[in-house]
Each structure stands twice: as C-alpha cells, then as structure tokens.
Amino acid sequence: MRATGMLAVVVAMALTGCYTVDQNRFSTFVAGTVTPGMPMEQALVRMTAEGFYCDGKAAPPAIVCTRSQQRIFPGSCIEQVNLSRAGSGKTLGAVDIAPIKCVHW
C-alpha cells in the first residue's frame, strides 16, 4: 500500500514538470519578453536568454526565433516567434507568434 502511494507521488511530480501546449500562455510569455519599439538587439538577447534560437538569415525583414520543448511522451513541440524590423532595422517593429507545432514519433 505504501509503495503504491509513493509511486503515485512520483508520477504526479513527473507530470507537473512536463510541457503542455498552451498557446495563450505562450503568447502572454512572449508579450512580456519582447515588445514592438524595443531595440532589436535587446529583443534578440531576451529571446536567446529564454532558450530560443534566432536565425537572422531568414528572409528580411523577419528574424525567426524557435525553441523546442520536449514532452513526456515521444515527441516534441516547436514554439516559433517571428520578429520584424521597423524602419532602419535597429528597432523591433512587430512580433508574430506562430501556433505551437507538435511532432509525435
């Protein structure tokens, strides 16, 4: 009986650390991390600090930032944010948050 209780606690702890897809939470997170009008360099530093890989070689004026999230079951999810330059290119013009895409193996 005691072993069953411990197993339930371990499983519950493992599941609380799992990634779950929540587009609204992701959008809120991004909005709190980068905002239009901030220096593009600062936006890239913030996104990188949050675990995103930002590809500056993407078609101008957009910079594509992606982050992979592992799930407990085989597969992963990709979070993507497209950052558009404004005017001279030194300022963040727009933030486009793509739908989270998950791949199951």
Total number of domains in the chain: 1
Which CATH number does the domain housing residue 79 bear? 3.30.1450
| Beta strand 53-55 pairing with 101-104 | unpaired
The answer to whether residue 67 is domain-embedded is yes
- For residue 96, being part of any structural domain is answered with yes
Convert the pLDDT of each residue in 46-95 to its tens digit.
999 999 999 977 667 789 999 999 877 667 899 999 999 998 889 999 99
Query: In the chain, what percentage of residues exceed pLDDT 70?
Result: 78
Residues 95 and 30: beta-carbon distance below 8 Å: yes
Residue with tokens 């901030």: 38
| CB-count exposure of residue 32 (10 Å: 0-12, 13-18, 19+) | exposed
Q: Domain range for residue 63?
A: 20-104
What residues does 53 pair with on adjacent strands? 66
Q: 6 in a domain, yes or no?
A: no
Helices (H) and strands (E) in the chain, counts: 3, 5
- Does the residue 4 lie in any domain? no
Residue 13 belongs to some domain of the structure: no
pTM: 0.77
